[in-house]
Amino acid sequence: MSFVSIYYALMLTVFGGGIAIWVWLVPRLLRRETIIPYQPRRLVPWSLVDLLLVFVLLVVCSVIGDALFPSQKPPKSAVSMIATSENGEQAASQTTEVVAPLEQLSLPEGRRRVALDCGIKVVVALLAFAAITFRLRATITDWGLTLQHWREDIKLGAGTFLAIFLPMIGLQVLLVNGLDWKYEHPLIELAKTKDVPFFALAVLSAVVIAPLFEEFIFRGLMQGWLEKVFSGTASAEAILMGGTTETVTAVAADDASTISPKPLPHTSQTNWPSIITSTIIFSALHYSHGPAWIPLLIFGAALGFVYQRTHRLWPGVIAHFMLNGLTMFGLLVQTFFAPATS
């Protein structure tokens, strides 16, 4: 069986699974049944100061990374760069297949940027995790990284992916084909040059690093803190400087503990302001990729809802991994295995 056939079979499976999920989901939504049981925990200990410090850390690591691994200006004849004509107008080089918008990237520069981006995200996430854990005694439960429910998290992540895939792909098709809104992403565009090392880095970035880093930042750090902001029980000091002063009983640090918090009435309700705010920020950071930020509103809202109900990052990581993995597998088939068209 060819890779093209495998891809088509996989897409049919995903479409079928998506339809099955919605057949199961719609009646329950109409009956206002609980889709995902709420699992309470104490409010996260980190603060606005911690979020700002993580942002500063990201900037500092980016500057240091660029200094340690400086950019190499590509030659005029390099593949995948914009050639400038004598009269000052930009014209595509004959050897150029696809050019990233507003970017003049050679393949070596593209590899450098993707590899550096992956390294920076790993370093920032590890340093942020270590610093906040040490400063505020944050637990694995606070971070949403407990593996106690790993089977349930895999199922929930796969179900979330199947549920959001059809609405996202439908909206994407409408925007790209119906409104002729060009989708642009430098990573994907350079991957089409059929450079195997770059494609491997692109897969690592999109399928592994992005799900882990973005769920850690947007759902864990940001949405976790926003839940504290909109909880109505945290003090201004706890919101701005850190700590947990809410009246809900704290979850024990040991994942094996059987102690459960007794939630106040507000903890059993969906914290929509935190979901909406984190979703808008998550989507806005993808604004430069053409219409992609609009379907990502659906994606971010779904992952935010799942996180708010479970307070675990793994379902979102699984869904994120599956979406980006399917996208990159499709790009792999299109780039390396699809029949050539005249």
* Residue showing tokens 């393949």: 107
pLDDT at position 245 is 52
Residue 84: strand, helix, or coil:
strand
Residue 251 has pLDDT above 60, yes or no: no
Residue 150 host element (H or E): helix 150-173
Token digits for 315? 């379902």
Residue 186: strand, helix, or coil:
helix
pTM of the full predicted structure?
0.83
Region 323-329: what's the mean pLDDT?
95
**Are residues 185 and 289 in contact, defined by beta-carbon separation less than 8 angstroms?**
yes
**Are residues 145 and 119 in contact, defined by beta-carbon separation less than 8 angstroms?**
no
Distances (CA, A) of 139 to 53, 126, 262: 19, 15, 18
Token digits for 249? 């009983």
Residue 298 has pLDDT above 70, yes or no: yes
pLDDT at position 64 is 96
Cα–Cα dist 234/241, whole Å: 11
Cα–Cα dist 14/8, whole Å: 10
Computed over every residue of the chain, the mean pLDDT equals: 84
